[in-house]
Structure 1
Amino acid sequence: MKAKVLITGGAGYIGSILTPMLLKEGYDVTVLDFMYFNQATLLDCCADPNFHIINGDCRKEEVLKKAMQGKEFILPLAAMVGFPLCDRDETAARTTNLEAIKLLLRLRQPEQKIIFPCTNSGYGVGEGDDFCTEDSPLRPISLYGSSKVAAEKAVLETENSFSFRFATVFGASPRMRLDLLVNDFVYRAVYDRTAVVFEGNFKRNYIHVRDAAGAFLWGIQHFDEMKGRPYNCGLSSANLSKLELCAKIKEHIPGFVFLEAPIGEDIDKRDYIVSNERLEATGWRPQYTLDDGIEELKKVFTIIKNKTYSNI
């Protein structure tokens, strides 16, 4: 039997990919998830005797303490993700993204290993044409970014830990998200055939959800050589502006028409390019390209459509 792993938020966007991935590799996996979105994404895992599920809140000490008992690895994925969701419920954002991590650190045993998922949103407005490395200043411009950066700092100040600073994630997951930029733009291309882009020169980095999940597996397998440091995790081939992203989508959906708004602005002011060299130096490589993700999402949006308030 391989190591016992606890994933908080393991029924979320990344966790719903990561959990079966770890089970397939022979790990004993416990998921602690509050099922905030009423999701049922891990039903196929329930037949595996090495899968354990706790429907509970990682902010509650007794719940978290019980879940942590006997675990070698702790992957605290539970979070209020993205600036719109955090701004909508600031209390939940702070208590989940930061206070629950401080609680976890207080409860953990020294030998328990933590791999923390941060975000490269922490770079905020970056260094222009210079790549942000893990040594670049962190200047988060949202509650989401600041809460995750503060939690990462607390984690990295302890022993037996490291963090991934994930790029903007894309691709299909059983707990699907349509708010992520690539997913959103492909959805618009499929159903609306048009998109209006604000501040289209703003750049960011991207990573497929399966590569984000795979990074955790890589981190478990290479923990001793990676511990103590943060690692940017993204596609080095995908430091793209919004307009460049739209042009890439148009290669796959030729009828897609996009234009940059002459007035107005995007409330999301993130603008940076990122170096992933530190993680790549460990031997890790992403397996999915942006092209792979767009083709995948075309199939996804053949299956699902967000039509709660639509009359067609």
Structure 2
Amino acid sequence: MNERQHILVTGGAGYIGSILVPALLHLNYRVTVVDNFMFKQTSLLGICYNKNLTIINGDCRDMELLDKLVHDVSIVIPLAALVGAPLCSKDKFNAKSINEDSIKNLCGILNLDQKIIYPTTNSGYGIGQKGKFCDENTPLNPISMYGRTKVNAENIVLNRGNCISYRLATVFGTSPRMRLDLLVNDFTYRAVYDKCVTVFEGNFKRNYIHVRDVVKAILFGIKNFNFMKDNAFNVGLEEANLSKLELCSIIQKHVNGFVYREDSTGFDPDKRDYIVSNKKIMSLGYCPSFTLEDGINELIKSFTFIKNSQYSNV
């Protein structure tokens, strides 16, 4: 039983947090969520009954607030962030203050006995070498504001120690706090409603992971923290290092009438292009539960009742 262990989750009402927080409560952790609810999400309504849950409407940059909350916390999971290259390019000040500065300040108020599990992004690999997998020893070369702030924050966390960093692949799947701007979710939505997608720089590759497998990795890290700590781990599907055109081809198998084409006159503002090895965490016993096609079918089901721009981050 884990009733005495207290976990602080910043951004706990977001895309990942809305699945993670119920999972932590199910395991009998006490959970405090700090979220500013900037997207007016109501994703935690279904668990407000739980006496082990505390919800604070606040900002992850409010160190006076966090200093009052962390005194009996065992683990901090900082999910609060501006996520994605377009959003961070649009709002550079808040991207840096939320994604990077708040992590530095958080590390400054925690004692060294308190653990951090830090979900970041594998977009820090930037543009990889053709045919060569990026592993955790590959030099980081972020090419977007988003990537730079997250790489800097990861360095802060790893230098502080008593932590695990997860370099997440592009996440997909449904969540109570849904997002339609993520690539698989976006392309599947367009396939269902528009029946067509125009792809720019269609041969650019990246890796993918289901949102519930991100949560599974975090729970795996909590359970196995002592022999994983002070390391970074890629978290993605080994079989899903795919180009955008390959992704469209898979979606086409599940959506009747969907067509896609590549436009060579345009460009993608998110220039990352790499393939990733996830063998390090898998060698420890972690294994994703959901395939890319599982997620696509799940998304198609959800799109029978979702059609609203409120689910975009941009």
- Which of the five TM-score ranges fits, normalised by the shorter chain? over 0.9
TM value normalised by structure 2: 0.96
Indicate the residue corresponding to 1:23 in structure 2.
25
Matched residues in 2 for 1:127 and 1:97: separation? 27
Show CA shifts across 1:125-167 (max 9, x none).
0121100000001010111000000000010011211100000
Matched residues in 2 for 1:219 and 1:120: separation? 17
Matched residues in 1 for 2:177 and 2:233: separation? 25
CA RMSD of aligned residues (A): 1.0
Matched residues in 2 for 1:262 and 1:49: separation? 55
Indicate the residue corresponding to 1:113 in structure 2.
115
Offset at 1:67?
A: 2.1
Show CA shifts across 1:200-240 (max 9, x none).
10000000000011111111001001001100000111000
Show CA shifts across 1:58-103 (max 9, x none).
1011111122120101000100100111111111110000110011
Structure 2 gap segments, 5+ residues each: none
Is 1:125 equivalent to 2:123 in the alignment?
no
Matched residues in 2 for 1:209 and 1:65: separation? 30
Offset at 1:185?
A: 0.3
Q: 4+ residue stretches of structure 1 with deviation over 4 A?
A: none
Indicate the residue corresponding to 2:70 in structure 1.
68
In the TM superposition, 1:24-43 aligns within 5 A as 24-43=26-45
Indicate the residue corresponding to 1:300 in structure 2.
302
Matched residues in 2 for 1:15 and 1:219: separation? 16
Matched residues in 1 for 2:40 and 2:67: separation? 24
Q: Of the candidates 198, 203, 211, which is equivalent to residue 209 of structure 1?
A: 211
Offset at 1:265?
A: 1.4
Indicate the residue corresponding to 1:254 in structure 2.
256
Indicate the residue corresponding to 1:137 in structure 2.
139
Structure 1 gap segments, 5+ residues each: none
Matched residues in 2 for 1:265 and 1:220: separation? 40
Q: What is the percentage of aligned positions where both structures have the same residue? A: 56
Indicate the residue corresponding to 2:97 in structure 1.
95
Paired AA for residue 27 in structure 1: Y
Matched residues in 1 for 2:71 and 2:309: separation? 43
- Whether contact under 8 Å (1:32, 1:67) holds in the other structure is no
SS in 2 for 1:298: helix
Indicate the residue corresponding to 2:237 in structure 1.
235
- Whether contact under 8 Å (1:125, 1:139) holds in the other structure is yes
Matched residues in 2 for 1:185 and 1:254: separation? 14
Offset at 1:302?
A: 0.6
Aligned positions, number: 308
Indicate the residue corresponding to 1:104 in structure 2.
106
Show CA shifts across 1:248-298 (max 9, x none).
001111311001113221111110000000010110000000010000000
Offset at 1:307?
A: 6.0
Paired AA for residue 206 in structure 1: Y
TM value normalised by structure 1: 0.97
Moved more, 83-92 or 235-244: 83-92
Matched residues in 2 for 1:195 and 1:43: separation? 35
Indicate the residue corresponding to 1:175 in structure 2.
177
- Whether contact under 8 Å (2:8, 2:77) holds in the other structure is yes
Q: Residues 307 and 266 (structure 1 numbering): CA distance in 2 closer, same or farther, change over 3 Å?
A: closer
